[in-house]
Structures are given as C-alpha cells and as structure tokens.
Structure 1
Amino acid sequence: MRTNPTGRALQLLSLLQTHRFWPCAELADRLGVTERTVRRDLDRLREIGYPVDSTSGRYGGYRLATGTHVPPLILDDEEAVAVAIGLRYAAEAAVSGIEETSLRALAKIEALLPQRLRRRVSALHSSVASLRRAVDDDVIHPESLSVFAAACRDHEHVRFDYLRSDGESSGRHVEPHQLVTAGRRWYLVAWDGQRDDWRTFRLDRIREPRPVSSHFAPRAIPGGDAADFVARSIGRSARDHEATLVIHKPFAEVEGVLQWADHALREEHAEHCVVGIRSEDLGRLAMTVAEIALTAPVSVIEPAELAGAVEQLATHLTDRAHLA
C-alpha cells in the first residue's frame, strides 16, 4: 500500500506518544505498511530527535522514551478537544497561580485548532457556567502539592504546621501516602506518628511543609483506597455539627447558594423550606447561615448555640459598618 511518508510519520508518532510498547507487526498493521517500512520510519524519527526505545523478546516492541526536551506533540481530534476542555477547567482549580498558566496554554491550543474542533470547544465553553465561591478560602500553593507529591512517591517524612478547625495551629510530623481531590478541595492521607493513627489533612490549612530527609516503609491505607478513606473522614467531621434552618423562600430559589454547603432538604413548601446543614465547626455553620441570608431570610431552629453565634456575627458586622 502506498502512503504519504509525512502523514505516516505523524500517525506513527501519535501512536508512540501513548508510551506503551508497540510490536512492530502491530504498528505495520495500523499504518498499512510492511514491518521494514516501520523500522525505516522509526529511524527517521530518531534522526530528527525523537528518542524511540526498542526491546526484543516476546513482549518487546517500540516506545517513545522520555527525552531531554519537549518535542512537538501530535494529537488526534478527540485528544485535542480533551486537552482544551481540561485546560479550561484547570483554570478554575483551587491551586494558586494555575489559572493564568492554564489560560495561556489554552490560548495556544485553541489558536492551533482547526475551525471544526474550535467550534466544538467553543460550544461547550459557552454552554457551561461554573459556580464559584464568594471567597476562595481553600486555595493552596503549587509548592505544597509538589512537596507532598514527591514525598508520597519517595516515602519521605514531612513536617508542617496545621491550622485546626478551632483556629489553633499545631506542628505535625507525618508519613504522606496519597493526595486526594474532592471538588475544589485537596486532602492528604498520612500516617501521623505522634498520634499513632491515620489522619486526613486539608492542604489549604497546611503551612510550610518541609521534607526531613528520612524515609518510611509504606503502610496499607485503611480500606485499601485513599479516596474512600477521605470520604469517610469528611463524613465523620461533617456530622460533628448539624443545624436545622427555615429559609423563607422556595427551595428552588436558594438551591444555588446551598450548593457549597453540606445540606439536606427536609421539608418543602410554597413559600419556605426546612433545610438541615452540617459542618465541622460552629463558626462555619454561622458563615453558611450568613451566606444564605444574603439571598433569603433565615431562622435557626436548632441548635441554640448556632443562633447565638449568628447574632454575634451580625453584631460584629454591624459594628464594623458603623466604624467604616
């Protein structure tokens, strides 16, 4: 079969960039050429700087190796669309500084997309809106991600200061095992030697993580899955403080503001709804009530201490307004 050498080389490069081992016979079948032609095309790729590794034997084949520079990437239509969409929503991640970097990369990708693909990406961007918090109190620094990712990989101890939910700070010395994302929030699953138990840490509450150059033997995470462990941990902390509210608007009109709260609809009526909310401390419950109050009048049914906390918050805000 006669094929265009340039087009065949691009298709070959696209296959190799998956970083799996490709037997020569399978590459030849994919490209519709002989194995001799495949080997000749692989030699051409090596000549222009693509590091192609080869292994012999039953499970051998060819694979694109990690090089010392970034060669041009070859993406098919679906991969190009996936990258553009991923960059668009990476710009809304809770990682400090990643927004601008993601948007710069997205602009470069979209400028290279053919019109048919650009329309697909544009249609999705224009049809989907993202609801953002009024205050991003869970933004983390990319340096923290790098420290913990390396520590999880290398099984290295890390020290850091941790801001607890009660506002107090404590020093920790842990064995990091896994990073877990839940929405816009990041968690670290680690063994805390001082407490002789597993712990879940929110990365936005961690300050000055420092590897200490000592290593540990990895342990089995309870249940065998870090994401499930975090989900159970979040559930336990969320049930520490619960409240019942009457919101004086139909549920459909306040559902948007409740999206960021751990909530459950208990009763729905024409002009009001009864909602249960949960959080890890009383202060955050009070802030949730304050956020809802910007949209609709709210009455706290229980607990009584939450009603007092909301009144105190309202007094502080009024005093600050008078001072301003």
Structure 2
Amino acid sequence: MADHRAQDKLAFLLSLVPYLVDHDRVSVAEVAAHFGVPQSQIRDAVRLIGVSGIPGETAQYQHGDLFDINWDDFELNDQIVLTNRVAIDDSPRFSAREAAALIAGLQYLSALPEHADRAAVASLMAKLSRGASAVPSSLTVEATATDGTLALIRESVSTGVQIEFCYRSAQGEAQSRRVDPLRIESFDADWYLRGWDHLRQGVRTFRLDRISEPVITTEPITFRAQDVTLPETLFEGSPEDLLVTIDVVPSAAPLLADYIPAGAVTTEIGGLFRTTIRVSHYHGLKRLLASMSGMATVVEPAEARTAVAEWAAAGAARYR
C-alpha cells in the first residue's frame, strides 16, 4: 500500500511541476481546482518541490540544483511562483536579445485584426520572458500615424461590426466606404487593409495612410476572413489599368512579380529584361520606380516616360 501511495505522489508531482512551470503565477486554489485535489495537498506538494532537484557538477545538491519558490508570496498570499527551475530546463533557451526581438514582434502582431485574440499573444510573451536565458530588454514598437486606424479596425473585428471611413484614391478622389475588415498586409513600407467593400460588393484593398475619419458603425459584419477566398496577390487588375513597358535589371525583376499581368512576354535586351507591368495610374508608377532607382527604366508609352521624367526633374530641382 505504501509503494502505491509513493507512486501516486510521484505521478502527481510529475504532473504538477510542468503545470507550475507553464504558469508564471498561480494561486493554490486554482491549482487545486485544476487537479481536483484538496488545497492542503497542493501546499504539501509545493513544500516538497522546494527541496527537490538534481545534483550538479559537484554531485551535491547546491542552491542552484534545487527548485526555488517565492516563499513569502506562498506563505502570505497563497501564490505559487517558481523562481528557479532545474532538470526540465536543460533544453536550449533563447538569449535575452532573441527573446526581446520575438516579444517586440508579438507586440506588433497583437495590433492586427487577424490576431485579435491578444490573450494568447500575451501568454506567449510571458512564456518567452520566463524561458529566456536572461531577462529580455524592454522593447516597444514605435507608434505610427496609422495606429489609430489599426485600433479601430481591431475593435471592428472584436465587436463584429462594420467600419466606415473616407478613402482618398491615388487620383485624389475621396469617397465614403463601409467595409468588413478581413486582413492587414504590408507591401514595402506601406500597410493595406483588405476588406469586403459594401459599396463595390466585393473584396477591395485600401492603403491605411489614405484612410481618414474612420468610425465604428452599428451594422453587423457580413463577411469574415474565413468566409471569403482572398486572392493570393495583394493587388488585383482592372480593365482601367495602364500598361507600361519597362527595362529592368534581372536581379530586380522578382520585385515586379505582382505588377506583371498574366501572359506578359519578357525578353532579354542588352543584359536587361524587357517586360510589361500594369499600374492603375502614373502616380503609382512614379512611386514604384523611385523604389528601384537605377534598376528600371520606362520604355513606353511616351506619356509614362514624360510623367516619370518630369517627376524626377522636379525632385532633383529641390536640391539646387
């Protein structure tokens, strides 16, 4: 009978220790409810864990070879906090810098609507902090002008209502839009909202820095991300798009993959790739070529060459 009791106690401890490791701070009452045992049994087990461990290199139980607990918190507040873990911590750990970088990335992701379950993200950040080889540096993600819009989009998703805003197109036209937010994506340095546009009755892409006066409506969301098949590419063509022929260095050609229409012919001329790209307006073409300085040249039509040349000349004139 004694052997069975010892085996049961060992099995319980083997289950309890990983549970405590996985929780940064937990009350005795919570642990007892989780395992379905009396609170007194949890307290006895915690005291036993406090004198358990493995012998280190000296083959003796030194302080670092034993589990340690915040005894003041345990005795005064009935809270269990492991301050030193042994044996199960032999697996490789993130360095403090690696953990800090991951935590900063998670902070940024928690702002996006498709990651609206921020409790899970917060739990993962806490685990990264505890599991690092040293205390991670305190990092925060710099706020941007679009953070307010992101916050409203996140609220729209979490509350299940549509968002309405004024959208200024690249041509400078402003129009009111009412949208079911589906996904936030980045392209180069810009952020875009992909959503179901109730005005156009279809999926549309909106650049966040062109959104103004966003407000949460009282209309329930009609479509969520799992209800709509989003195109693989961020930008979809339309019959009004302009076709432009360009020469581009081979190493930069992959950067234009989203702009090259299906069936476009690419030829090699003088060590450069000549291909056709699709743009919605010449203003977008100017921005695209500015990001590929020295790597791409407009061949035709003449209107496109003129628009880009005049824009580049105006920019250069500001330095005189």
SS at the partner of 1:234?
coil
- 1:274 CA displacement: 1.8
Query: Whole-Å Cα distance in 2 between the matches of residues 156 and 91 of structure 1?
Result: 24
- Greater helix percent: which structure? 1
1:48 and 2:67 aligned: no
2:236 counterpart SS class? helix
Distance in 2 separating the partners of 1:178 and 1:222? 5
What CA distance in whole angstroms lies between the structure 1 residues aligned with 2:200 and 2:272? Answer: 46
- Picking from 271, 280, 303, the partner of 2:301 is 303
Q: Which has the larger radius of gyration?
A: 2
Amino acid at match of 2:244: A
Q: Aligned in 2, Cα 1:279/1:223: closer, same or farther, shift over 3 Å?
A: farther
Residue 18 of structure 2: which of 8, 11, 20 is its match? 11
Contact 2:162–2:216 (8 Å) recurs in 1:
yes
For residues 7 and 191 of structure 1, do their structure 2 counterparts lie closer, same or farther at Cα, with a shift above 3 Å needed? same
Q: 1:205 aligns with which of 184, 207, 210?
A: 210
* Paired AA for residue 319 in structure 1: A
Equivalences for 1:274-293 in 2 at 5 Å? 274-292=274-292
Give unmatched runs, 5+ long, in structure 2.
Answer: 1-6, 25-30, 47-73, 112-124, 137-143
Task: Note the alpha carbon deviations across 1:167-220, whole angstroms, 9 max, x for none.
Answer: 222233x2424233255633141342x5555544332321231224x232x424
- TM-score with structure 2 length normalisation? 0.54
Report the CA distance between 1:246 and its aligned residue.
1.8
Q: Conserved in 1, the CA contact under 8 Å of 2:167 and 2:174? A: yes
Equivalenced residues, count: 242
Distance 1:12 1:159 in 2: 45
AA aligned opposite 2:132: L
Q: 1:90, 1:3 → 2: CA distance?
A: 37
Q: Report the Cα offset of residue 15 of structure 1.
A: 5.5
User: Which of 217, 222, 235 does residue 219 from structure 1 map onto?
Assistant: 222
Distance 1:149 1:315, change over 3 A: same
Which of 255, 259, 270 lines up with 1:259 in the alignment?
A: 255
1:179 aligned onto 2:183: yes
Gaps of 5+ in 1: 18-23, 29-34, 51-70, 96-105, 119-138
RMSD: 5.1
Q: 1:309, CA displacement in angstroms?
A: 0.7
> Share of identical aligned residues, percent?
17
Separation in structure 1 between the aligned mates of residue 281 and residue 267 of structure 2, nearest angstrom: 24
Q: 1:6 to 1:303 in 2, by over 3 A?
A: farther
What is residue 71 of structure 2 aligned with on the other side? none
